[in-house]
Amino acid sequence: MREIILELHREAPAKPAEGQPCNGCGVCCALETCPLGRLRFLQRRGPCPALTWSADAQRYHCGLLLAPGADSLLGRLCARWISAGSGCDCSAEVQS
């Protein structure tokens, strides 16, 4: 098993268990860039440049989905492509 040190906002919520609803912890996007981010940023390895901290919500969001036009058909397709709203799909084990 490989250890990686992630630097996330200290107010970020703890990573939920795999399969549980996403809470915006940011771990998955800090570890790797999703297929959408790979196309947009031409980057194969994380952290994703679109990972955006929201001080108001006290959570991370995908900056690509926050961009103008995210409510358009293209925005909805992008949300579907990264599985937004489908639950945590990150199997990483996190230690505090």
- The verdict on residue 39 lying in a domain is yes
Please tell me the predicted confidence (pLDDT) of residue 52. 94
17 falls within a domain:
no
Q: What percent of the chain has pLDDT over 90?
A: 47
Task: Please report whether residue 47 resides in a domain.
Answer: yes
Whether residue 64 is contained in a domain is answered as yes
pLDDT of residue 69: 67
Determine the pLDDT at residue 60.
Answer: 95
pLDDT score at 42: 94
Number of structural domains the chain divides into: 1
- Flag residues of the chain having pLDDT under 50: none
* Domain around 45: 27-81
Q: What are phi and psi of 39, to 5 degrees?
A: -70, -45
5 in a structural domain:
no
pLDDT at 3: 84
Nearest to 25 by CA among 2, 59, 62, 56: 59
Residue 60 lies in a domain: yes
Structure tokens at 68: 């103008």
